[in-house]
Amino acid sequence: MKHQQILDKLAARFLVQALDESFARAMNWSMPTKGGSLDMQNQVWQQILSRWNCVLQEEDKKEVSAAYKQKTILAMAVIAHKYGLNIDSILPQALVAIDALNAAVELSDDFERRSPQIKAFLQTPPQPLKRRPIMPDNITFFRPQDVVSIQYQKRFYVAYVHCDTGINECPVIEFYDGVFDHVPNLEEVQKLPARGAHYQDGRVRISRYAVAQMKYLPDPANQVKLIAAAVAQPPSSKHLETSIGLYALTDIFALQKALEYLFQTT
């Protein structure tokens, strides 16, 4: 079997595409040489799970169905295997997902017939990559004046989309000064000011981020959610000093570290 043959049988095109792009980006930044050390592999898995746990750990079945979780786990195992990563930590879950998908008749008869082959294939040693994966193109379906929720470690941060770089390339966002334990509605955030970044000189400045790979709407990883569109009024930054530069360049993974820094006193 080939990896793409298995992925095609999942009938989840955008889930597979988004997961593949996540692995490609994480591998590209983390892979110093061909193959990869154990530390590198752990780093990649940490990045992947920091985003895709928003699917795997979601308890609301209206948000994420059992079948979608199972497809995500299986696709994650297949794509990681394709990229030469050790999948021992997720393999038992992937094998259970295959059985669950068959029991619920979620996929085709051909998937069920070939399930023993798929299981055997996933238990073969993955072949290390000889070169870095190609970085996915930067494109976004979010638009200026969108208000979005971004989940990280079961906390929800809210951002305003000011513009994008290039033509629909990377959204430039600014965070509201609030942290939630749920996806808030627009009324909960509209009166919040902008969150500024604290500098070593004691100043608190306007802080905006151009986020590569904040792409899909809706987000297959269940991490970024649209709260409202065409919100003309951005969060007020009158209390903040002028920013250093227009925005900081980051991506959907590095943004999580930026959140830790930005909200470190919250």
> Residue 54 and residue 49: Cα distance in Å, rounded?
8
> How does the average pLDDT of the chain come out, rounded?
94
For helices 38-56 and 13-30, the axis angle rounded to 10 degrees is 150
Model pLDDT, residue 34: 47
Domain residues of the chain, as ranges?
3-122, 147-262
Residue 216 DSSP label: -
How many other CB atoms are found less than 10 A from the CB of residue 107?
Answer: 20
pLDDT, tens digit, 9 for 90 and up, residues 42-69: 899 999 999 999 999 999 999 999 999 9
Give mean pLDDT, residues 225-244: 97
Q: How far is CA 179 from CA 67, 101, 234, in A?
A: 30, 36, 17
pLDDT, tens digit, 9 for 90 and up, residues 120-150: 999 999 998 888 888 899 999 999 999 999 9
Helical ranges in 31-156 per DSSP H: 38-56, 66-82, 91-103, 109-113, 115-122
| pTM score of the predicted model | 0.93
Q: Which residues are within 8 A (CB) of 189 and not within 5 positions of it... i.e. 6 or more apart?
A: 147, 158, 176, 178, 227, 235
Give mean pLDDT, residues 165-186: 97
The neighbouring-strand residues paired with 194 are 176
pLDDT, tens digit, 9 for 90 and up, residues 145-164: 999 999 999 999 999 999 99
- pLDDT of 196 higher than 60: yes
